[in-house]
Amino acid sequence: MTACVTEDAAQPDTRPHPAALTIAADGSYAARLARHESTGGWFPERWTLAGPEPYAVPLPGRRPEEAGARLLPLTDGRVLIRRRVADRFTLGLLYPTGPGTGELPLGSVEAAELPLLPASPCGARAYALAPGAGSTVLWLVHDGRQSSVPGQARTVPTCVAEIEGRCTGGVWLDRTGRLLALDQELDGRTKTVAVDLERGGEVSPLLQITEESNDRLLLADPDSGLLVLRSDAAGHDRLGWGVLNSALPVRFPECLRLADAALQPFAVQPGQALAPESSAVAFRIDAAGGTWLGVWRPVERRLRQLPPPRGWLAGTGLWTPDGELRLPFVTPAVPCGLARLPAPATGAQSGDEAPGGPPPADAGRRGDTAEDAADPGLPSGDLVPAGFPVRPGRWVRVPATPPASAASPHLPPPLASTRFTQAESVTQEPYGASAHPSPCRPVPLQQAPLAAREAR
């Protein structure tokens, strides 16, 4: 492991914020709880993002929703909702039915907590965690299959695995929905483990920088293998990055450490096959002065701090493979908008550029800094699930630059935005509707051994 140890800055709150908008696995739909202007009650609202302009469809029920309800949009247009009812959680699928909202009940789970995990990469399956006193149950709450009986669910929530310790987080490591990373707390320490859903929930270590450190995975990109993580191995919480299935060390860039501000990654650019150092990552930055946007690429060695669009649903957005960053926003004049930040403004690499992009202007003149030299006192983090072969990683040495000041960010051109339009007329449940097609992407090398492993 490589770390740069400096004097402790003020420790901001690094806990993740609840998502103001949840986006489907393929970026086709999104969902949020919106507040009714006249009654002040909450109701689900589905956004359609797959067309040239976004538009919103309200999904109100017979009664207002509680503020603690959680939504998960699926790629077939339905929205999974989780509600708290006494000592259990009920689940259902919402869909527009012309003037009203249809709901397909999915059953209930008795638990003190039941956070929904991000939608499986296939876009149809949905999972949830139920932490208990000594273990955590992983539930499959929707399997994506259709029932032959209209108005009934094909399956009820099913226990997939029971994992020792208290598990939180939830990051998918591949495009098939087989490998799930969870942050597992055992004996007062938190480490990230990989759960193999095709092997009955088999658990293997994924991230351990030191025996005494708390190491959490925040974000992963299956295309490039880029991992963004948080660890206190250096004596205080730091953001770092590594490459899945690589034996190279985790790095902790100094540019991702801002005084009196907390950074939380929320989106990574897809399609950068085998080029983790070129993948752009979007961050939500929170400080006493407000919330703004950060964009970082490992190869660029700096954090671009950008003003967000007015009304940004902070901490939400998605990248296109060509490097355009799209940020949802809501204003009184635009109740459903999507600001578009082109690749030149974010420094993201478009799909037709050579992997790695052009080197920085000062490349070759700067020596390696403390964050690039290996720290002999700390071992490298293990970023390879047990049993999976290590592939030779492509790595670029990443010297640090001083963190950019929030008072003088590198301002982009004005954000282009789309306005609200209501063009969809839906009169029935999208029952059996095909999901939006995903673009064809090369298969990364770290995924190829899955089939070979099963053959052996």
pLDDT tens for each residue of 309-339:
999 999 999 999 999 999 999 999 999 999 9
pLDDT score of 3 more than 60: no
Distance CA 456, CA 448 (A): 13
pLDDT score of 214 more than 70: yes
Chain-centroid distance of CA 104 in Å reads 27
Q: Residue 436 in contact with residue 50, Cβ under 8 Å?
A: yes
Per-residue pLDDT at 36: 87
Q: What is the mean pLDDT of residues 380-386?
A: 39
Per-residue pLDDT at 223: 92
Per-residue pLDDT at 147: 64
What tokens appear for 77 in the block?
């247009």
Per-residue pLDDT at 150: 64
Per-residue pLDDT at 436: 33
Per-residue pLDDT at 392: 31
Per-residue pLDDT at 13: 47
- Give the strand order in the sheet containing 29-35: 22-23, 29-35, 42-48, 55-58
pLDDT score of 38 more than 50: yes
Per-residue pLDDT at 246: 84
Q: What percent of the chain has pLDDT over 70?
A: 71
Q: What is the mean pLDDT of residues 281-309?
A: 95
pLDDT score of 398 more than 60: no
Handedness of CA 276, 320, 403, 363 (dihedral sign): positive
| Among the ranges given (28-42, 117-131, 277-291, 370-384), the one the predictor scored with the smallest mean pLDDT | 370-384
pLDDT score of 164 more than 90: yes
What tokens appear for 32 in the block?
């949020």
Q: pLDDT: is 415 or 238 the higher one? A: 238
Q: pLDDT: is 220 or 234 the higher one? A: 220
Q: What is the mean pLDDT of residues 58-84?
A: 94
Q: pLDDT: is 365 or 152 the higher one? A: 152
* Residue that the structure tokens 């402790």 belong to: 8
| Among the ranges given (88-97, 293-302, 330-339, 377-386), the one the predictor scored with the smallest mean pLDDT | 377-386
Per-residue pLDDT at 43: 96
3-state secondary structure the chain: CCCCCCCCCCCCCCCCCCCCCEECCCCCEEEEEEECCCCCCEEEEEEECCCCCCEEEECCCCCCECCCCEEEECCCCCEEEEEEECCEEEEEEEEEECCEEEEEEEEEEECCCCCECCCCCCCCCEEEEEECCCEEEEEEEECCCCCCCCCCCCCCCEEEEEEECEEEEEEECCCCCCEEEEEEEECCEEEEEEEEHHHCCEEEEEECCCCCCCEEEEEECCCCCEEEEEECCCCCCEEEEEECCCCCCCECCHHHCCCCEEEEEEEECCCCCCCHHHCCEEEEEEECCEEEEEEECHHHCCEEEECCCCCECCCCCEECCCCCEEEEECCCCCCCEEEEECHHHHCCCCCCCCCCCCCCCCCCCCCCCCCCCCCCCCCCCCCCCCCCCCCCCCCCCCCCCCCCCCCCCCCCCCCEEECCCCCCCCCCCCCCCCCCCCCCCCCCCCCCHHHHHHHC
Q: Residue 378 in contact with residue 1, Cβ under 8 Å?
A: yes
pLDDT score of 379 more than 80: no
What pLDDT band is residue 16 in, cutting at 50, 70 and 90?
Answer: low
pTM of the predicted protein model? 0.76
Distance CA 214, CA 175 (A): 27
Please, what is the average pLDDT of the chain?
77
Alpha-carbon distances, residue 209 vs 3, 37, 234, 241, 242 (angstroms): 11, 49, 10, 12, 11
Q: pLDDT: is 390 or 220 the higher one? A: 220
Length of the chain: 456
Per-residue pLDDT at 154: 65
Per-residue pLDDT at 365: 31
pLDDT score of 107 more than 70: yes
